[in-house]
Amino acid sequence: MVTTKRIKIWFMLVLATVLTSSAIFAAEEEAGDGSKWIGLTANKPYLHVIHSGKTVKVERIQDPNYELRGYFAKTSRQCPPFCLRPMEVDPRVKTVGEIEVFNFIEKQLRTDKGLLVDARTPSWHQKGTIPGSVNYPFTTLSKGIDDLEMEEALEEFGAVKREEVSAFTGWLEDQGFFNGDMKTREWDFSNCKELIIWCNGPACGQSPRAIKGLLDVGYPPQKLFYYRGGMQMWQLFSLTTANPG
């Protein structure tokens, strides 16, 4: 039976799609005050996403003289621990930028095939997050396979805990049979969601640790994506942030 909550979520997703598709002007067109519109991309002025049950419009601040201030405007911090991170967390995991995040929001998020994961600690998440994100701290995602918090996170990501696997079946899967690349002895990742994982930016190690933790428990690398720019680059491009509540 379809619940009222599911109907509401479905309605909000449809509404977000309609609102976005109704944007008939391109980014080079003029804004209401006669100035040029500052769009997300050349042909996408803004987009909508469901965040905490509400529709949030993701756009850039329209003031061309806007300058970033505060924590994320700082260019130099003590290293270590705030050292620049490699472009890749792991050769098997794709690094993405802002446009890929926009596309992910409009496709995987709306079809419930993906999650935008804020891997920062809750205190950072509470200060503001990328709209559509859910908070799964790296401290949880870097725990062991038998940890209860890790198990709960994997189940919420769509993984299924398996019954005891025989030695022979396990051997066959290790050889590549039965879609073995999507299964471990403990978990079936065949229907798990795609995840874009991010934290505070290029000098933040929280999302890399979360990604490595998920790889360690068998999460398929092709289902993981690293948004290296994180909150610093998101705010540098004057993009909308949202409160978690």
> What is the tens place of the pLDDT at every residue in 149-199?
999 999 999 999 988 655 555 555 566 555 556 778 789 999 999 999 999
Instruction: Answer whether residue 21 shows pLDDT above 50.
Output: no
Q: In whole angstroms, what is the distance from residue 202 CA to residue 83 CA? A: 8
- Those residues whose C-beta lies under 8 Å from the C-beta of residue 13, and which sit 6 or more positions away, are 50, 110
**Cβ–Cβ under 8 Å, residues 208 and 85:** yes
Nearby residues of 240 by Cβ (< 8 Å), 6 or more positions away: 56, 57, 58, 59, 60, 131
For the chain, counts of helices (H) and of strands (E): 8, 9
Which pLDDT score is estimated for 170? Answer: 56
The pLDDT tens digits for 96-121 are 999 999 999 999 999 999 999 999 99
Q: How far apart are CA 138 and CA 89, in angstroms?
A: 14
In whole numbers, what is the pLDDT of the chain averaged over residues? 86
The pLDDT assigned to 155 comes to 97
Domains of the chain listed by start with CATH number: 4-157+192-236 (3.40.250.10)
Q: Would you say residue 222 has pLDDT above 50?
A: yes
57 half-sphere exposure, CB direction, 13 A CA radius:
13
The pLDDT of residue 178 is: 52
Instruction: Examine the pLDDT at 25 and tell me if it is beyond 50.
Output: no
What local confidence, expressed as pLDDT, does residue 172 receive? 59
Percent of the chain with pLDDT over 70: 78
Confidence band, pLDDT 50/70/90 cuts, at residue 1: very low
pLDDT at 30: 52
| Beta-carbon count within 10 A of 227 CB | 25
Q: Is there a contact between 237 and 62 (Cβ–Cβ < 8 Å)? A: no
Q: Label residue 176 left, alpha or beta by phi (over 0 means left) and psi (-120 to 50 means alpha).
A: left
Predicted confidence band of residue 24 (pLDDT cuts 50, 70, 90): very low
Under the banding of pLDDT at 50, 70 and 90, the label for residue 3 is: low
Q: How far apart are CA 129 and CA 115, in angstroms?
A: 14
Confidence of residue 36 (pLDDT cuts 50, 70, 90): confident
The larger pLDDT score, comparing residue 31 to residue 120, is at: 120
224 vs 176, more confident: 224
Per DSSP bridges, beta strands 187-188 and 47-51 are: unpaired
| pLDDT score of 122 more than 50 | yes
pLDDT at 34 over 60: no
Region 197-214 average pLDDT:
97
pLDDT at 19: 47
58-83 tens-digit pLDDT: 999 999 999 999 999 999 999 999 99
31, pLDDT greater than 60: no
Model pTM greater than 0.75? yes
> Which helix (H) or strand (E) segment is 140 a member of?
helix 138-141
